[in-house]
């Protein structure tokens, strides 16, 4: 802390045995892709997540009928791109993000979060119409955003 009267900076250990406890949201959501955290590239970790997602889909649903892979902007883009590549399916931008709407998952109240999702994202209908879509998001907190996004994809013409 900084002593406002003297201008001196002081540091102090607050815990006898501090341990590192990184939050997974740092890798999947908050950190920039060019960051290195604990010696791990955030970009590389997001690529790995996309590969692992695609591998799991191929293992569990070998006859999947995915036509296109669409990220939920912005931080899931790297994972979605890698998932599309690994699955051999096209990657498309189906959502346009309004950068002036705050993070929806931390907004107070369910109704506020639901309404904010529709203000935050707009669909490019031609990317959804008549297609089976794999939507890739970076995380799910309450599911409110995911439910609204799935409904928006359906409203834009996605089959599945």
Domain spans in the chain, listed from the N-terminal domain onward: 24-155
Q: What angle do CA 146, 147, 153 make, to 5 degrees?
A: 85
What tokens does 12 get?
């102090």
Residue 74: both structure tokens together: 């912005």
Q: Are 154 and 132 in contact (CB under 8 A)?
A: no
Q: Summarize pLDDT for 26-81 with one digit per residue, the tens.
A: 877 788 999 998 898 999 999 999 999 999 999 999 999 999 999 998 889 999 99
Mean pLDDT of 128-154: 90
CATH number, span 24-155: 3.40.50.2020
């Amino acid at each position: 802390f900084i002593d406002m009267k003297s201008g001196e900076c002081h540091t102090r250990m607050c815990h006898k045995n501090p341990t590192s406890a990184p939050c997974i949201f740092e890798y999947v959501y908050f950190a920039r892709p060019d960051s290195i955290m604990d010696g791990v590239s955030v970009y590389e970790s997001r690529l790995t997540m996309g590969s692992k997602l695609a591998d799991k889909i191929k293992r569990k649903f070998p006859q999947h009928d995915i036509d296109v892979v669409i990220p939920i902007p912005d931080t899931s883009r790297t994972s979605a791109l890698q998932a599309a590549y690994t699955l051999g399916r096209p990657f498309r931008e189906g959502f346009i993000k309004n950068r002036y709407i705050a993070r929806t998952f931390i907004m107070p109240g369910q109704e506020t979060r639901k309404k904010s999702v529709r203000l935050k994202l707009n669909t490019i209908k031609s990317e959804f119409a008549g297609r089976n879509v794999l939507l890739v998001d970076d995380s799910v907190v309450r599911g409110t955003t995911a439910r609204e996004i799935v409904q928006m994809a359906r409203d834009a013409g996605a089959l599945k």
